[in-house]
Amino acid sequence: MNYKDFLENINITMEDFCRESFFENRDHIRVKKEATVVKNLQRIFDAVFKISYEKGFQAMSMRDLSREADMSMGALYAYFSSKEELLEIIQRQGRAIVNRAITVCLDAEASPDLKLRNLIRTHLYLSEIGRPWFYFTFMEAKNLSKKERDEVLAMESFTEKILVDILEEGSAKGIFNQKDHRLTACMIKAMQQEWYLKRWKYSKRKISVDQYADFVLEFVNAFLKPATTGPGKSEKMEDK
């Protein structure tokens, strides 16, 4: 699997994001025509991501947003009832999509090393498509209400747990080493986050998400390789 394959299989665009947001929140959205809502939500969300990337969600005024999205204040408030609700809608919708994509990519039949490879790639590719959202969520999580913040933490635990389960399975089968699986999972997550938190750096250096993913996998596999004290299964747990 590479990024191109991934894009062809999973089909998630900004438009899907907006359309789903519309269906999820249609009770609260005063405008009723789907096409209009989708079009405007797209402008709103793009503007939120852009301004938040530059100076943070808290520092973004509704007037900033109105200017960037090219809509009046009044029009904006037809789509959400408060700035906080806007934040929540974006967070919730993103979580739903990530959740779904991660769950779909898990294949109970595959071997642990394939599962791990698949999961790491999927997460990186997902964060490449939805980079603005991933960055936004990481930076703005602390501004959420307690209830919403707990959801973010639950998400973090959820993805970590999946990694740990795979590592344990591989460890039991002798494919991976017997080190601390939870810490290993944390390192993997740190490397995944690095990709969307420092994206500017990799853009500048022209490192593609595929190159990055390959490197992370190599890095992780070097650590996971079981101790090969004798002439046993010394190499290659590797690749498709």
Which parts of this chain interact with a copy of itself (CB under 8 A)?
53-56, 58-59, 139, 142-143, 179-180, 182-184, 186-187, 189-191, 193-194, 198, 201, 205, 207, 212, 214-216, 218-219, 221-223, 225, 229, 234-240
Contact region with DNA (CB under 7 A), list: 61-69, 175-183, 193-201, 217-225: 61-69
Choose the one of DNA, a copy of itself, none that binds residue 77, judging by a C-beta under 5 to 8 angstroms depending on kind: DNA
- Least separation in angstroms between residue 98's CB and DNA is 26
- Least separation in angstroms between residue 200's CB and DNA is 26
Told to check if 77 binds DNA by CB under 7 A, we report yes
Q: Which of 82, 211, 228, 234 binds DNA (CB under 7 A)?
A: 82
Burial class (CB in 10 A: 0-12, 13-18, 19+), 224: buried
At 104, list the tokens: 């779909």
Q: What is the rounded (10 degree) CA torsion for 141, 105, 223, 169?
A: 110
The runs of H, that is alpha helices, within the chain are: 3-9, 14-25, 34-55, 62-69, 73-76, 83-105, 112-129, 131-140, 146-172, 181-197, 199-204, 209-224
57, 87 contact by CB (below 8 A) = yes
Number of shown-chain residues binding DNA (CB under 7 A): 23
* Residue position matching structure tokens 């996971």: 224
Gap between the Cα atoms of 207 and 217, Å rounded: 15
Told to check if 63 binds DNA by CB under 7 A, we report yes
Told to check if 32 binds DNA by CB under 7 A, we report yes
Choose the one of a copy of itself, DNA, none that binds residue 33, judging by a C-beta under 5 to 8 angstroms depending on kind: DNA
* Residue position matching structure tokens 């992780």: 220
Q: Which is nearer to DNA, 29 or 164 (CB)?
A: 29
* Residue position matching structure tokens 């999205």: 69
Interacting residue ranges for DNA, rule: CB under 7 A: 30-33, 36-37, 40, 60-64, 71-75, 77-78, 81-84
